[in-house]
Chains A and B, each alone.
Chain A
Amino acid sequence: MVQRLKEVDVVVIGVGMVGSIVAKELAAAGYTVVGLERGPARFTVPQFQSPAVHDELRFSVRKALMQDSTRETVTFRNLDSQVALPIRRWESFLPGTGLGGSMVHWNGQTYRFQANDFKLATGTRERYGRNFLDPEVTIQDWGVTYDDLEPHYDRFEYLLGTSGKAGNIKSRIQAGGDPHESPRSREYPTPPQKELFQGALFRKAATSLGYHAFPQPSSNLSQPYTNPEGMKLNTCVFCGFCERHACEHYAKSAPQTIILPVLLANPNFELRTGCQVQRINLDSTKKRATGVTYIDAVGREYEQPASLVITSAFALNNVRMLLLSGIGAPYDPATGQGVVGRNYSYQTISSVAAFFDEDVVINPFMASGASGTVINDFAGDNFDHSGLGFIGGAYIGAVNPHGRPILYHPTPPGTSAWGKGWKQAVVKHYNHTVMLSIHGSSVTQRQNHLDLDPTYRDAWGQPLLRMTFDFPRNDLKMAVHVTAKAAEIGKAMGAKQVAANPRKGPYTITQYQSTHNTGGAVMGDSPKNSVVNRYLQSWDVPNVFVIGASAYPQNASWNPTGTLGALTYWAIDALTNKYLKNPGQLVPA
């Protein structure tokens, strides 16, 4: 029997980065907030302490911090004509679970997108003409501008204490920073992390080729920092266990280190962990949410009534929650009708391995998740695409975040895949290789989408999310072009052998690429091509806000977290200053 609980003002689905920040602001504004988190509670002490947290087998290989794929997974296929099968073991992307969400296991790379990313469709038409794009590509403008988001990027970076060097403050170019970035209002809260030796090699080579190297913005901090919430963070020690692991040192910005203690101390907030939300409940008009139904860790079912529902789960799960709840029309790739699940995009990652002589000692194990040196000369629309036949680009950098023994063993092409030859090559190259990353954008196209799987269900009996995705031709062309530039830098670094690996199709879910799953519940200026309006409010059910990278109409060249943080504060601003004062649709449809 379903137990109906006392009504609260706000229910938050998923207490990760977005959920923590939204809940903190709304609880501080005096609203009663319940946070429902499907995973366990966990904190820096004791759960993230070493040596346990440095167990590479447990965390990196067996992925202890990720969504339990035996209970809830995603089914996958490349093409509509195929039958999707469940992902039994996370490889290509790694959705986290538990208090703090995926931000607990992130690398801390905290970029902004550029102003032109938010007007990609318009900008592409204006610069390259109406017929430049592959007709299958379905990119669109965001409905917000960089200028709208700038104060919120700033607030997010100061919450995290991000370590970096500004390249453009109020339109004045700053030496040492990224000259391509859009204007920021002030310097980063903390200076960049120390440059690694591989970064110094990269910087020298990139500069010699006329490019503009700068330190990767890192939320693994370069010095002690107290954020505006009063939370104190420590200096990162370059242990090399950021991505897939949690930080034991209070040095990586994650909900546990930047905001959760403040949220949990507020009596207006109640955290409930082990709670699997089944659906957002709607009233008979289907235009108003009445709360959510969830099942707790021992299987009891509850209805939690609320005036406002915030969906702040991982991007894929935000989309699934809407589909399970019947909010918005599901997208149909055959007709192009419907919006929920439309414009799923990803990140197009390529690599270049630069193999050096044995007198060049790289020490790859000494790194943070974001202590790289990078260039943006081939990112986004920072170069002329005329005649190239694609849009978008990638940042290139020496950003290898770790040299962990099980998963890091670069070997040159032609090396045996196993046995004595392989072992000898690993020993020879481990400490003398730089892996360059080519971190590329992702356009949307008609076929790539998310919907509910017709066959497979989760442990609670609900349909799984089905992903249909393959790399757009646009992005594969981009990967070839930019990876060739990266290979030139590798040669200029003095590598004796350079192996370029531009991303190739078809997309495979059995090889790690990126957890930057974006889109599916995209934002925009019309309910015809978007699920949420520019304030991340559902067009269909105005008391539901869907906050996540699910809102990205397509993905840009950079890691998405900085932009998600900016969108989160942007949405909070709309909630507290507009919606909650006068609940209703904020943008006329």
Chain B
Amino acid sequence: MSAYSRAYSGLRVGCIMTAVLPCLLAVNAAPGPAPAATPPCEACHGAHGEGMAAAHVPRLAGQSADYLQKQLDDYAQGTRDNPIMKNFAKELSGQQRAKFAARYASMSAPYIAQSALSAASLARGHQLAYQGDETKRVQACNGCHGPDGIGVALAAPYLAGQSAEYLASALTAFRQGTRKNDAGELMRSVAKRLDDVDVEAVSGYFGSLEPSTH
């Protein structure tokens, strides 16, 4: 990771934390006002879609447009729950959601290196990503999420370079069954068979990979 991107990421996190909270309050306090023409996605997801790892905010740059649109649609319809995203998504028309999804899918953003994992954790994460675990009946992540977790359009988002904190919270939500918008319960089935150590390992492993530039 370059000195530039380190400084850059630090700067962004600082700005976003101050920017996002008032906006949140505003949305919660006044649900009625006319929809903003462009909701402040950048406030959390970054000007280049780089996300905000520490706050569990996912990176969106270069993510599958179909995946992003499905998530926005699900937030709007209440089939994926998040207090912040739900409100934004509801304010958008279907066409606007498609537009935002396409915009983030077309972005590229520098990779923000994440905190280092222990060697054991990295090895376990690698095992789950490439091979799976027969004793837990968990198949390899990459089987759906693509080689090195680069994602497979239409439905499987990339994992490589994603915020480890976000991945861990997403896996935990699937594991606890609080996130239910996975087709065929595919992610819930897998996540329920993982334990805390696995979740940290596999999230950290994918967070440690540079995102695909393809």
Contacts and interface: CB of A to CB of B under 8 A. Distances in A.
A43 B185 contact: no
B134 A232 contact: no
B137 interface: yes
A237 B140 contact: no
A209 interface: no
Nearest to A247: B139
Interface residues of B, number: 20
B110 interface: no
A45 interface: yes
Interface stretch (B91-99, B141-149, B162-170, B195-203): B141-149
B140 to A, nearest CB: 5
Contact of B189 (A44, A222, A234): A234
A223 B140 contact: no
A237 B137 contact: no
Interface string A208-232: 0000000000000011100000001
A170 B180 CA distance: 36
Contacts of A43: 134
A50 interface: yes
B186 A45 contact: no
A135 interface: no
A45 B133 CA distance: 6
Interface in B127-184: 130-134, 137-140, 142-144, 147, 183-184
Given A45-B131, A223-B184, A232-B189, A250 B137 contact: yes
A49 B140 contact: yes
Interface in A8-52: 43-46, 49-51
Contacts of A235: 183-186, 189
Contacts of B131: 45-46, 49
Contacts of A385: none
Residue in B133, B134, B183 with the greatest tally of chain A CB atoms within 10 Å: B134
A248 B140 contact: yes
A44 B143 contact: no
Given A43-B134, A237-B144, A49 B185 contact: no
B184 A44 contact: no
A224 B185 contact: yes
A45 B139 contact: yes
A458 B142 CA distance: 41
Decide if the interface of chain A is mainly helix, strand, loop or mixed: loop
Contact of B185 (A46, A50, A223): A223
A119 interface: no
Nearest to B134: A45
A232 B133 CA distance: 14
A249 interface: yes
B143 A49 contact: yes
Interface string B106-121: 0000000000000000
Contacts of B134: 43-46
Nearest to A193: B184
Contacts of B184: 222-224, 234-237
B138 A45 contact: yes
Interface in A364-387: none
A338 B132 CA distance: 52
Interface in A220-262: 222-224, 232, 234-237, 248-250
B65 to A, nearest CB: 19
Interface of A: 43-46, 49-51, 222-224, 232, 234-237, 248-250
Interface of B: 130-134, 137-140, 142-144, 147, 183-186, 188-190
13 contacts: A44-B132, A44-B134, A45-B140, A46-B132, A49-B131, A49-B132, A224-B184, A224-B188, A224-B189, A232-B189, A234-B185, A235-B184, A235-B185
Given A224-B184, A234-B190, 5 more contacts: A50-B142, A51-B142, A224-B189, A232-B137, A248-B143
7 tightest A-B CB contacts, nearest first: A235-B184, A45-B132, A45-B134, A50-B143, A234-B189, A49-B140, A46-B131
